[in-house]
C-alpha cells in the first residue's frame, strides 16, 4: 500500500457549535488550530480529531466545500 503525500498547505475550516462560528485550519503534518474568541484565544491540538474533543457536537465545514457566497461574512 502506498501512502499518499500530505496536502501542501493548511486546510481551512469552520466549526459550528451552539450557534457559534469558529475558524480554524488543519496543517499537513496533522496539527489543528481554531480561533476560539476573546475569552480563550487559540486552541491547538496534535490532530483535528483531538481538537474536536473540546467541542462536543461541533460540525466541521471545510472551506473547499462551502459555496463562494456562503464563505463571505
Q: Which residue has the higher pLDDT, 3 or 26?
A: 26
* Global pTM value: 0.74
| CB atoms closer than 10 angstroms to residue 13 | 20
Pairing of strands 59-62, 42-45: unpaired
Give pLDDT tens digits for 28-54.
999 999 998 777 789 999 999 999 998
State the residue for C-alpha cell 476573546. 38
Q: Which residue has the higher pLDDT, 46 or 5?
A: 46
From CA 28, how far away is CA 21, in angstroms rounded?
A: 23
Give pLDDT tens digits for 15-28.
998 888 999 999 99
Domain ranges across the chain: 11-63
From CA 66, how far away is CA 52, in angstroms rounded?
A: 20
Decide if pLDDT at 12 tops 90. Answer: yes
Amino acid at each position: 500500500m502506498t501512502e499518499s503525500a500530505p496536502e501542501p498547505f493548511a486546510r481551512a475550516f469552520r466549526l459550528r457549535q451552539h450557534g457559534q462560528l469558529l475558524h480554524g485550519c488543519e496543517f499537513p503534518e496533522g496539527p489543528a488550530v481554531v480561533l476560539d474568541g476573546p475569552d480563550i484565544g487559540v486552541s491547538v491540538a496534535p490532530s483535528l480529531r483531538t481538537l474536536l474533543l473540546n467541542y462536543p457536537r461541533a460540525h466541521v465545514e471545510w472551506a473547499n466545500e462551502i459555496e463562494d457566497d456562503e464563505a463571505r461574512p
